[in-house]
Amino acid sequence: MTRMSMTNTPRTATVDDAPLIGDALTRAFDDDPMMRWFFPDGSSRAAALGRYFTTLFTRQYVHHAVCERTAAAAAFWVPPEAQAKAVPDAETIQELQDILGDRAPVFGAAVEAAAQHTPQEPHWYLALIGADPAAQGQGHGAALLRSGLAKADAAGMPAYLESSKPDNLPFYQHFGFTVREELTLPGNGPVLWAMWREPRHPAA
């Protein structure tokens, strides 16, 4: 079988990319503390994560965000003008609750807690970024991060993200993000690091 070229050149993601994106994000977040908190059953986690990320992408972000992918990674950015729309509707919320099962209340509390700390000033929000660990070191995540930050910089906008994996903090700091706040999620949940980056090349 011919091995697929693992190109790390970002391209716009479409609904047709949902299977690739779902698989890449499932692998990327398998060891993420927050995802393991939401989906504690290791035997069903991969299937649940696949449904979770595919639902978010196809029902929410592909319509209201700047979604890009490489052959092994994906990133969803929400510009300030789209943030009011890039929230789950009632049908999407129901679908997510079905996926989460008895962890749905924990998920809801975490989302609400994080939302209370969202910066009020206009910004580009990095809602999700992840790369398949099998492609680690090939620059997939970095390429997607650079692409999104270039768009934020061109608009003269700061960027904001939340990370629940401490190992990822140096990666984001390399690109100019600094920790703005450290939040422990309710119910003895994991720590969430809120990170902020000022624009490098503000718009004229």
So where are the chain's domains? 11-197
- The partner residues of 125 in beta bridges, in order of sequence, read 78, 160
pLDDT at 3 over 50: no
57-83 pLDDT, tens digit per residue, is 999 999 999 999 999 999 999 999 998
129-146 pLDDT, tens digit per residue, is 999 999 988 999 999 999
Tokens of 171: 């990666």
pLDDT at 5 over 90: no
Query: Which superfamily does CATH assign the domain made up of 11-197 to?
Result: Gcn5-related N-acetyltransferase (GNAT) (3.40.630.30)
Residue closest to 57 by CA, chosen among 36, 32, 71, 77: 77
